[in-house]
Amino acid sequence: MSLSVTYEQYEKAERLLSWNTVKDVCNGKVFPNWLDKGSRFWYQRDIQKESECGKQFVLVNPRLNIKESAFDHARLAESLSNVINRQVDPDNLPFNSFTYINEEKAIQFEVDESTWIYDLAKYQCKQIRTKKVPAHELRSPDGRWSAFIKGYNLFVRSLETGKIIQLTHDGTRYYDYGIQPESEISAVVKRLYNPKIPPAALWSPDSKQILTHRLDQRKVRKMSLLQSVPPEEAKPPVIHSYRYPLVGDKHLPLAQFVICDIEQQLMIQLDTEPMITGLVSPLSPSCQTAFWTNDSDFVYFTKMSRDYRSMQFVVANAKTGEIQTLLEEKSETFLFTDLYNIKSGKGINVQWLCHDNTFIWHSERDGWSHLYLYDSRTGRLKNRITSGSWTVRRLIGVDEQKSWVYFTASGREPGRDPYFQHLYRVRLDGSDLVLLTPEDAEHDVFISPDYCFFVDTFSRVDIPPKSVLRSTDGKLVCELEQADIELLLSNGYQIPERFTVKAADGMTDLYGVLIPPASTNTECKYPILDYIYGGPQLLHTPKEFIWGGEYSVEQPIDLVGGAQSFAQLGFAVILMDGRGTPYRSKGFHDFSDGKLEWSAGIEDHVVAIKQLVEQYPFLDSEKVGIYGESGGGYAAARAILTYPDVYKVAVSGCGNHDQRLYLAAWGERFQGLFDSELYREQDNTRLVKNLNGKLLLVTGDLDDNVHPALTMRMVNALIKENKDFDLLILPNRQHGISVDVYFIRRRWDYFIRNLMGVEPPKEYAIKDPMFPG
């Protein structure tokens, strides 16, 4: 029985794109807003209404086990309606956040770009004037100052008087203060669409000092993008240049740490050589590796060597700038602990403890990811905190008064997916290790400032989220929310199926998910799509319940590559992490060391597909396609060129097809310092002679992460080999093409026409979430 695809299936596929499905789940996660430094909190809960999801605000007192409305929603709506002259729905108030003020006798919130106060006893709303902090300024912890960049220098502004103080005076272009390196993978896009961003800086806890850096990019390689179609009518092409170091370049961005004293208006330069910056500033929240101590007396940070085989831990006196190197971590393969939390944006797992002159250090030195306790005066190891054949993932916090360390880890509980994160606590001396989240699932936790309670949202790809409140001894206090996925299911969402297969070595267990095609017919065989990401720095396979994505101009994201939409079109989609990916043992991860051509286990994908065809009779082993973007674009092209007998169709989006022309920080970490023979092996253009199937290459002409030249080099090589292929260049698109509606439709069409073997509906138009009209 042959397959076909209809216009109605395209409509269902569009309905399951990430920006649509994100609205289809109520109470998928609880985000607590802790009050003061205690354990009470409020959160926003969803209410399912006829045409949209409404909301209410809930106040929770864990000690008394009381969960109640944070305020009278109906009376607030009535009062607010009277003063803004429009009807306000009490079940969908026009704000998403608020603050208790005046000893919790009132709340403050923003509506229509104005600040309002609602008296909880008098049920009255009134508008007040406040001095707002622009989005490009960084507010101090005490709320009295904001920091910003102007003319290559760092300034602060008093939020009480408006007085502006210039803290640095000698900044110049490409030798300026408080800015991100332009190699941070979206420099041109941010310049075009969001020219003002907060400074790369870190306020001291007492709000008296700012840690920042002077970044030297003067000699860093200049790259350029040609914007062929500027938005202005009939405007000639525009060249956009930016600094972007390649593998082997002599000059990299160098950051010199400085501390600015607000009261004395002094700048202190730390007594250390400028440090190499990688993808982003060491002060960037997403990959933060520099911090203040709680007493504001010291800053501590890590310094990575260029080959990523050595990392120093350094502490600096905030008053004098004097430094002390407390330890140096070395490895024969790439170090990775500074990127352990890159996906969650939590920074490195290091913490300074003021009460007993110690610090916690994260290391994979024994082959597994674990925590160690060091003396902060001498740099000597005091004791291991954790040990065993399992993986510490994230340092959540330390209750210094009770000597408890809270962290997430995976792989410790037998019989479970080794990637599932659970919350644990252990004494600083390594004793009394306790599991706090017993459910066989992925756990996302938020711990209270007093370390007495935590909110735990747990789920699996096949089990919807539940959010509960627990005490930090692991006892369940109450259930907060159970996610409602009824609307999601009614729109055709396919529950993913978890699978385990053997790697190409025949011994190692690998874990993945399969999204089955909608409405499977036992008389039909369904084509397989392998959605891949070939980078060794990320876990690609979802572990929690996934129903939406993230969307921003700078870096839009679809977390599962439109897999649910493909299921509606009659494809089975697999996601899997092969050997060479993180969060198992160090040895498992090291399969990628010096072997980026391995693409995080393409060979493992090939043998996995053979096993899955045996497990699922409806899969068609003769119709296998592969797709991905960025590192996945590299891997998709690599796969069809290396295994042409397996992969018949590939869509390669913005692929970094030759690391010699990609960022130094990425290639030199994982492939090694430049060596012509080593880097020759990973070049995809060497394999184009093997192309037998259908290949679509895609790039955006404003991709400032993976330069379009990398795709054009593939084009050039394919032409030289007289190969048939397809090319799509997207004007004014940057790296995040995975959510570009035209690209999505063309990708659907390509697999339907070339893998399924039928004609798709002609020129189906997907509504653009950025321009819904």
Q: What is the DSSP string of 266-314?
A: EEEE-SS--EE--SS-TT-GGG--EEE-TTSSEEEEEEE-TTSSEEEEE
Map tokens 């096993």 to a residue.
611
- Taking the model in full, what pTM does it have? 0.95
- Going by pLDDT thresholds of 50, 70 and 90, the confidence category of residue 554 is very low
What's the pLDDT score for residue 358?
Answer: 97
Maximum mean pLDDT: which of 205-209, 347-351, 768-772: 205-209
Per the DSSP assignment, residues forming a β-bridge with 391 are 410
Q: What pLDDT, in 10s, does the model give residues 220-268?
A: 999 999 999 998 888 999 999 999 999 999 999 999 999 999 999 999 9
Please say whether the structural domain 501-756 has been given the CATH code 3.40.50.1820: yes
- Going by pLDDT thresholds of 50, 70 and 90, the confidence category of residue 506 is very high
pLDDT at 30 over 70: yes
Tell me what the mean pLDDT of segment 109-125 comes to.
95
Map tokens 């756990």 to a residue.
443
SS3 call for 773: coil
- Going by pLDDT thresholds of 50, 70 and 90, the confidence category of residue 736 is confident
What's the pLDDT score for residue 555?
Answer: 47
- Largest interatomic CA distance in the chain: 80
Whole-angstrom Cα distance, residue 24 to residue 22? 6
Whole-angstrom Cα distance, residue 645 to residue 660? 28
pLDDT at 751 over 50: yes
- CA triple 293-299-302, angle to 5 deg: 115
Q: Which residues contact 234 (CB under 8 A, 6 or more apart)?
A: none
The DSSP 8-state label assigned to residue 569 in this structure reads T
Q: What pLDDT, in 10s, does the model give residues 391-415?
A: 999 999 999 999 999 999 999 999 9
pLDDT at 632 over 70: yes
Do 660 and 686 contact (CB within 8 A), yes or no? no
CA-to-CA separations, 373 to 287, 331, 396, 573, in angstroms, rounded:
22, 19, 15, 44
Token pair in block for residue 149: 């960049």
Whole-angstrom Cα distance, residue 340 to residue 346? 9
Token pair in block for residue 721: 């080999």
What's the pLDDT score for residue 679?
Answer: 96
Do 703 and 643 contact (CB within 8 A), yes or no? no
Whole-angstrom Cα distance, residue 552 to residue 655? 21
Q: What pLDDT, in 10s, does the model give residues 50-59?
A: 767 899 999 9
Tell me what the mean pLDDT of segment 147-167 comes to.
96
The DSSP 8-state label assigned to residue 144 in this structure reads S
Map tokens 């024969």 to a residue.
332
Map tokens 């990775």 to a residue.
336
Do 602 and 537 contact (CB within 8 A), yes or no? no
pLDDT at 205 over 50: yes
What's the pLDDT score for residue 772?
Answer: 59
pLDDT at 493 over 90: yes
Q: What pLDDT, in 10s, does the model give residues 295-310?
A: 999 999 999 999 999 9
Within 10 A of 8 (CB to CB), how many other CB atoms are there?
A: 10
Tell me what the mean pLDDT of segment 24-35 comes to.
96
Alpha helices (runs of H) in 391-509, residue ranges in sequence order: 486-490
Per the DSSP assignment, residues forming a β-bridge with 482 are 466
pLDDT at 556 over 70: no
